[in-house]
């Protein structure tokens, strides 16, 4: 569990990173930054910071902030009650983000998963997203991503977000 002091430190760092890259948030949005450590207690390696701008029955828009080397663990967005899982497009706004999806494994990938949980990363086809580049993930696609050495800001545009229903490869993750 993240201490309240660490939580505030992370939020302040996320706000500074957004401001550095000219992404403006309202005071309410700043107060609502979510820090996701996925219940692993290793936020510096596994986790991300996010702001949800909108999440309706049809669309969702978020900003994902990843610090250098921070990893969002492998997961997928499953079908729920007969409705397809979330379809999402990641658009890199700042830094570099490496996205891993099913497909031919990349020889010498840029990233390595956090050592404590490396056995829970199974897809290795690497997609490098630089500012202005984007990639769409279709429902039920296994994926994970990691920020490059400067960190990254990724805008996510998707169908309705039901992150609480995500299925993670690591059974110890709590969302």
**Domain spans in the chain, listed from the N-terminal domain onward:** 4-168
Nearest to 146 by CA among 124, 170, 116, 171: 124
Can you give the pLDDT at residue 125? 98
Predicted TM-score of the model (pTM): 0.96
Residues 140-158, mean pLDDT to the nearest whole number: 98
Mean residue pLDDT of the chain comes to 96
Nearest to 121 by CA among 111, 130, 134, 129: 111
pLDDT digits (tens, 9 = 90+) for 31-70: 999 999 999 999 999 999 999 999 999 999 999 999 999 9
Can you give the pLDDT at residue 134? 98
Can you give the pLDDT at residue 174? 81
Instruction: Give 1's pLDDT tier (boundaries 50, 70, 90).
Output: confident
What's the CATH class of domain 4-168?
Answer: mainly beta
Provide the token pair at 139: 């429902």
Query: What is the number of other CB atoms lying within 10 angstroms of the CB of residue 9?
Result: 13
Percent of the chain at pLDDT exceeding 90:
94
Residues 130-138, mean pLDDT to the nearest whole number: 98
Provide the token pair at 143: 């994926």
Question: If you search the block for the tokens 């570099």, which residue do you land on?
Answer: 96
Can you give the pLDDT at residue 31? 96
Residues 5-28, mean pLDDT to the nearest whole number: 97
Provide the token pair at 76: 């997928």
Whether 147 contacts 67, CB under 8 Å? yes
Provide the token pair at 66: 């990843």
Q: How far apart are CA 66 and CA 63, in angstroms?
A: 10
Q: How far apart are CA 80 and CA 2, in angstroms?
A: 30
């Amino acid at each position: 569990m993240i201490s309240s002091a660490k939580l505030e430190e992370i939020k302040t760092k996320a706000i500074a990173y957004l401001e550095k890259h000219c992404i403006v948030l309202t005071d309410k949005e700043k107060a609502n930054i979510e820090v996701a450590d996925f219940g692993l207690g290793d936020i510096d390696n596994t986790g991300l910071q996010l702001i949800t701008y909108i999440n309706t029955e049809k669309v969702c828009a978020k900003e994902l902030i990843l610090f250098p080397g921070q990893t969002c663990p492998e997961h997928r967005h499953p079908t729920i009650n007969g409705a397809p899982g979330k379809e999402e497009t990641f658009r890199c706004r700042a830094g570099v983000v490496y996205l891993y999806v099913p497909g031919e494994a990349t020889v010498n990938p840029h990233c390595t998963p956090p050592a404590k949980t490396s056995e829970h990363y199974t897809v290795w086809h690497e997609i490098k997203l630089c500012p202005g580049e984007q990639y769409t993930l279709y429902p039920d696609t296994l994926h994970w991503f990691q920020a490059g050495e400067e960190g990254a800001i990724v805008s996510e545009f998707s169908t309705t977000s039901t992150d609480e229903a995500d299925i993670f490869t690591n059974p110890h993750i709590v969302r």
